Structure 1
Amino acid sequence: MWRVVIWAVLGLFCLVQSSMAETSGLRRLTQRGDLLGWEAVGRLDLSGLGYCTATLIETDLVLTAAHCVYGKDGKLLPADKITFRAGLSDGVALAERQALQVEAHPKYLANGKRSWDRVRHDVALIRLRDPISTTIADPFILHSGKDFGDDISITSYGRGRSGAPSRQKHCAIVDRYRDLYDFDCSTAPGSSGSPVFSKVGGRGRIVSIISGHRISNGRRIPYGMALPERVAELKAQMRRNRVTAPVGPATAVRQTGGARSSAKFVRPGG
């Protein structure tokens, strides 16, 4: 239960464990037909520091976890070190864009004490230098309101499956405490920032993103936060700090193989 154990066990945040139950129903989206409808989920490559999972929520706006965009020194990574690769599958991305502006929530402290308040603010937005056409990747929208039930799904990259997104069609919210959620979805290092979708209103809507995990009875329990308020605050922050794209073509970052797995999911900034 969140009220009793979560912050007592956050010291186990760096442990990497899994169970057979966690991987049930996980499907690798390899073929073009498999990716249909999920193109807006991509891998966020961090210039040799590893990768996270991220999602288009507007044609030029990407949602991910705040701890993904910090370096080991606790400083925000420069935008030119971050590349979003939409629908990346086996070395080929449907669209690849360099970041222009990176905004992490101001209440997320990269080197701060682990706490529920840190998790609830573990949200970042990245504005891309060039938008991605909706004909290539249709952005997902956030779920508004609280009526989305407990049956959810997740699409993510992660250690051992970094080359293509994997989708778990059915998992669940197993506990809620204020604006925090526990899930029984399958996650791995690299899954930070992965979108958690509701099944309300037709196409999935994002209800949360993966921030981290705790260990309970030998099982990994991923958790995340409610998003609408955090994302609204970040959009306002982004407008205040708006960055203008430089004149001239962006420098493309091309990779044909999987990026090195990192501890971004296991240890923020690690």
Structure 2
Amino acid sequence: MKKLVWVVTIALLLSACSKGEAKKEQNNDAKTITIGATAGPYSDQLKEGIAPLLKEEGYELKVVEFHDYIQPNNALEEGDIDANLYQNRLYLTNFNKEKGTHLHYLFAVPSAPIALYSTTHQSLDDVKEGMTITLPNDTVNLARSLNMLQNYGWITVNPDIDHVTVSEKDITENPLNLVIKPLDAAATARSLDDADFAFVNGNYAIASGLKFTEAVDVEQTSEDFLIYLAIREGDENEDFVKALQKVYESDAFYEYTKEHAKGYVLPPYQQEREAK
């Protein structure tokens, strides 16, 4: 019986030591910030522009790359990452509503605009009956693309539908009988081999080697459609959040943006610097 008591006691002590070691390791890792981003310009922005500045603030930055628009928010909601960087605030608001998540957008970052590309046409005037146009299929970016098509006079959408949730089903007039094909956002750049025109989100355009100067048309991006850093609700006052905001608003990151993000739409805090 005494042997059994000693075995149990030793097991409990070993378990406590193991937990203590794990806690110690966790504490040692407390100054690491893990951010999810889509592969391409926003992960590059974090690695090249933000990580060195965070290091000066005492933080190591770990970037986890994703290849779709769903998993980064799921990972953030589940606590696998501390923040993510890939979406505009309307997309996040709609995601929270549809998925029941509890995520919060913080501030905008230098953002690559959505643009219309073609490998065979140089101008909007080249449009002809029956042409195929591909566009992102997520709610917000689909609506952005359709609104641009309406501005060109190529289609008309139902005016009673909210302009940020309109879909291809809300097209009421299509005088040129255009073939409107929503695709996964990551596939729109690849679709240029088959489509006459394609709307490509800025991050995927840059990742695919497309240049803004080569676009047939570039969106005049409003603040609603800038890319925002997102966190979980309740983390707004955490030290790592304050550190992120400090480095994004710094002189050093502004200089990085001017050198490495030409053609991007600047967030308000950088626009103020431009106006000086």
TM-score with structure 2 setting the length: 0.22
Q: Which has the higher helix share?
A: 2
Larger radius of gyration: 2
- Name the structure with the higher strand share: 1
TM-score, with length taken from structure 1: 0.22
